[in-house]
Chain A
Amino acid sequence: MKRKALALAVSAAMVVSMLTACGGGNSSSGSAETTAATTAATTTAAPAENAGGSSDTEETTAAPADVDYGTGEITIWVADNVQSFTDEQVAKFLEENPQFAGYTVRTEPVGEGDAANNMITDVEGGADIYGFAQDQLARLVSAGALMPISGDYAAFVDSENDAGAAGAAKMGDTTFAFPVTSDNGYFLYYDKSVVTDPTSLDKIVADCEAAGKSFYMEINSGWYQPAFFFGAGCTLTYDTDDMGNFTSCNIDYATDKGLTALKAIINLHKSPAFVNGSSLSSATNVGAIVDGTWDSGAAQELFGENYACAKLPTATVDGTSFQLGGFGGFKLIGIKPQTDANKMQVCLAIAQFLSSADTQLARYEAVGWGPSNVTAQQSDVVKADVALSALAEQLALTIPQGQYPNDYWSLATSLGDTVIAGEYDNATDDELMTVLQDFENTCKSYAQ
């Protein structure tokens, strides 16, 4: 059995407290003192291991073949549309790595949103490896559903992926997941025969109105809504610590910039062509839609010859115009905390494999997910993709999506729903400013 050289980085006191934690974990006598020690130890352990990890090199990644990894079962949750792809890749992996032959791997189709919810409900009953969208990271870390990744694996995440993706896999300084895509952003799909000029929101909407088609954008989602706010120059980010807690909130929505953005949203809602939504499969009368790469297949089918993509347009309010921005997001693969050291090694190896350049490229070819791996991003096929290049253009205008508390998403939906209900249609600037001030205060109240 392989163990990292712990004496390097871990102080003697910490070892003692760790051993107490191991031994006393399930037995009866646990005093308040040990808790304090353990919690302290946990927080210091992760960076310490990072530091120590870089010194002991090949051991972890190369996974020597002569070690007995025992047997076990590993469950992987992935979205339904990549399940068969993941099956193939895992089979390939096990073939290439006979030392893991004792493990059977089962994949289950569990959507990214459900995966996070289910993991949080019962960590122990959840999957060993699972895919999720980056906005769930803080929730999952705080619920203890992700193991910190250290040493070579953390270095792998940093070196192989674009900076945004590597940052998205971190809480504080600790890496918690392997990136798999950098395409979790949105841009404009449109029907060439309807929309003549995709650079201006007003023109898109006017074209849709004239053609009797609809313009879809999910303005009641905390994910799409910042396209306006960030585009107008506002900020909304949260700082977190290594434990998944939100420490502070940086927001300036209650400013003239925020007011411009909110007015742009209200103007959009007033158009009869506007429909709130972002799912092509339930949209019925699309002239243009703000959506992501996962719908590119459906969009090509729907628009046929008139299929076209572009970065988001500019919005114009009271004579000033601004380019819509928004989030650039990432999809990640995480591992739940393991109690068995061997199985943990196998899980790490599988997750790393699923995040590697070859697999990402193969995944792009199979299902069109845009890679986060820098090597894969440079391949010709990826560069030639229409949707991905529109996205790349848009991503240049966005901020990498950080971590947001769960309540933020709900609050943003409330703001969007209130706009859609038409309550601000005739509101004065002062009234709108009060709304923004409320929004800002509530956002701040989520960080302790």
Chain B
Amino acid sequence: MKEKEPKMHMQHRRLSNAIAYAVLILISLIWLFPFICLVLQSFRSYTEGGGAMVNYLLPKKFSLDSYKALFGEESQFFKWYGNTLIIATFVSIFQTIFILAVSYSLSRFRFKGRELLMRFWLILGMFPGFLSMICLYFLLKQFGLTQSGAIPGLILVGFASSGMGYYVCKGYFDTIPKSLDEAARIDGANRAQIFGIMLLPLSKPIVIYTALVAFMAPWCDYIFASYIAFGYSDSYNVAVAMYRWVNTNDYQGYFTRFCAGGILIAVPITILFMCLQKYYVEGVTGGAVKG
């Protein structure tokens, strides 16, 4: 572990800073290394190893083969990409609404059964989610929301139970003084108005945080999405489709394409994330302290 060196001597400080920089550069390299590899592999030409995995880092010949394959006419990649974008957008919107609604209720109201409800949800959260996968599949099937209807199905599953994830947001609402509510009530506002007109604008960081977290989840969902959309490739999301490229023997030489696809997913999300990083940090920190 690296410690601070608070000696007053300039030389000492310089030395310790130099060590700190060295460590930071090393850490940065380690953290960036897989991404550098991904980028390099995605530009490897098909003439080398035919798009399969290789055991060296620098491609001998750079080309856009993999990207061309993804953008090619036969490729469904952008269909899957679009599916994921649609799912992520809707889940993000509805989940944010749900979480805000639940958080506001639990933060500002004291009703009978409130404690019981919170404790009940806490207990529910301790059951592993995979347990209910097959049950959810058949529930959704009852409403025609599997296979060809998997996209609305995945949106529904994505947000329907999201009310349980209220902790962070409620914690944030708790820090907004109740006296503001009282003042607004004296001015004649009802609680719906207080929520919409007063509290929401004050909670911009937490709204963005909630929406961002919800938006990012569907991009990684390869387990549940494959369970719901199986056998209907038009409904796949990008994770389900790409996961097959590296894990079944039907796809020979798709490795560089996997890397290229990964880059195409990662870049927009990373940019979005970087732009909203401030709010994310605020949400994470607040949530951690409140627990």
Contact = CB atoms under 8 A, between A and B. Distances in A.
Interface in B35-90: 49-55
Interface string B225-253: 00100111100000000001010111111
Interface string A10-51: 000000000000000000000000000000000000000000
Nearest to B230: A118
Contact of B52 (A110, A111, A114, A282): A282
Contact residues on A (Cβ < 8 Å of other chain), bracket: 20 to 34
Interface string A303-316: 00000000000000
Nearest to B55: A284
Interface of B: 49-55, 134, 137-138, 141, 146-147, 227, 230-233, 244, 246, 248-255
A77 interface: yes
Interface centre among A125, A281, A301 (most CB of B within 10 A): A281
A301 B51 CA distance: 11
Interface in A248-269: none
B55 A285 contact: yes
A109 B233 contact: yes
Given A126-B231, A282-B52, A282-B53, A297 B134 contact: no
Contacts of A283: 52-53
Given A108-B231, A122-B137, A298 B52 contact: yes
Interface in A100-131: 108-115, 118, 121-122, 125-127
A298 B249 CA distance: 12
B58 to A, nearest CB: 14
A80 B250 contact: yes
Contacts of A281: 50-53, 251-255
Contacts of B55: 284-285
Interface centre among B49, B54, B134 (most CB of A within 10 A): B49
Nearest to B226: A114
A378 to B, nearest CB: 28
A302 B138 CA distance: 45
Given A114-B230, A121-B137, A81 B250 contact: yes
A32 B49 CA distance: 62
A125 B153 CA distance: 15
A118 B231 CA distance: 8
Nearest to A75: B231
B270 to A, nearest CB: 27
Interface in A61-114: 75, 77, 79-81, 108-114
B230 A111 contact: no
Given A80-B251, A114-B248, A279-B249, A125 B141 contact: yes
A297 B249 CA distance: 13
Contacts of B255: 281-282
B75 to A, nearest CB: 12
A280 interface: yes
A111 B252 contact: no
A229 interface: no
A279 B245 CA distance: 13
A127 B253 contact: no
A295 B252 contact: yes
A53 B52 CA distance: 50
A187 interface: no
A81 B232 CA distance: 16
Contacts of A111: 244, 248-250
Nearest to B46: A301
A178 interface: no
A294 interface: yes
B231 A110 contact: yes
Given A108-B232, A122-B138, A283-B53, 9 more contacts: A80-B250, A81-B252, A108-B231, A113-B248, A114-B244, A126-B231, A279-B249, A281-B53, A281-B255
A267 to B, nearest CB: 25
A417 B141 CA distance: 39
Interface in A141-192: none
Contacts of A301: 50
Interface string A267-301: 00000000000011111110000000011011001
Nearest to A298: B252
Contacts of A282: 52-53, 246, 255
B72 to A, nearest CB: 14
B54 A284 contact: yes
6 contacts: A80-B251, A111-B248, A281-B253, A294-B249, A295-B249, A298-B52
Contacts of A279: 249
Contacts of A126: 231
Contacts of B147: 125
A110 B230 contact: yes
Contacts of B134: 121
Nearest to A291: B249
Given A125-B146, A298-B50, A302-B50, A280 B227 contact: no
Interface centre among B55, B233, B249, B255 (most CB of A within 10 A): B249
Contacts of B146: 125
Nearest to A80: B250
Interface string A204-215: 000000000000
A111 B252 CA distance: 13
Nearest to B74: A84
A444 to B, nearest CB: 30
Given A281-B52, A282-B52, A298-B52, A108 B233 contact: yes
B222 to A, nearest CB: 13
Contact of A127 (B50, B231, B244, B254): B231
Contacts of B253: 281, 298
A110 B241 CA distance: 11
Contacts of A77: 231
